[in-house]
């Protein structure tokens, strides 16, 4: 069974277990390896730490989809635990969200997190962010479209979750 499928399946198993998932965030491969060696079940790659590590800058849109996908790919290829990736708001409208999810799946992410902010997004740690109301986010199809239409060569699509910022 390909590693991607095993990773996705393992994340699904963790999500469905009636307990807290032990996961730490890593901003680079060394951090991910240390997290795995410490016995954590999965690792999260977030935009804030990755932007700070790679660019020395805060998470205010200096890193785009391509940079986060590349960082996720490097991490997913190095560790055997599931990697959950920060997909920001999906980087655009519904069709770009579809492409975004597919790119992370192909990079080896076991799952993605989509945020509920309007564009341009701001890091959830900073003031001035504006969020999309849950009703509007779900009714707009932003959460349904990627799952319904994104199909990559992976036999087990990555779980997708929305992360409320408010």
- Among residues 100, 123, 138, 154, which one is catalytic? 123
**How far apart are the C-alpha atoms of 50 and 87, rounded to whole Å?**
12
Residue with tokens 């079940």: 41
User: Could you confirm whether 123 is annotated as catalytic?
Assistant: yes
CA distance 32 to 23: 10
Contacting residues for 43 by C-beta, under 8 A, at least 6 apart:
23, 24, 25, 26, 32, 35, 36, 75, 79, 81, 82, 83, 84
Point out the residues that are catalytic: 123
């Amino acid at each position: 069974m390909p590693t991607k499928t095993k990773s996705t399946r393992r994340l699904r198993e963790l999500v469905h277990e009636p307990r807290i998932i032990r996961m730490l965030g890593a901003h680079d491969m060394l951090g991910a390896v240390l997290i795995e060696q410490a016995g954590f079940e999965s690792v999260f790659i977030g935009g804030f730490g990755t932007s700070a590590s790679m660019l020395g800058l805060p998470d205010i849109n200096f890193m785009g989809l391509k940079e986060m996908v590349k960082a996720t790919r490097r991490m997913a290829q190095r560790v055997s635990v599931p990697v959950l990736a920060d997909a920001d708001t999906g980087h655009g409208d519904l069709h770009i969200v579809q492409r975004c999810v597919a790119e992370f799946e192909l990079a080896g992410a076991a799952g993605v997190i989509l945020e509920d902010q309007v564009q341009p997004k701001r890091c959830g740690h900073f003031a001035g962010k504006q969020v999309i109301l849950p009703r509007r986010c779900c009714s707009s199809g932003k959460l349904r479209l990627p799952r319904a239409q994104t199909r990559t060569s992976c036999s087990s699509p990555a779980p997708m979750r929305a992360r409320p910022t408010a």
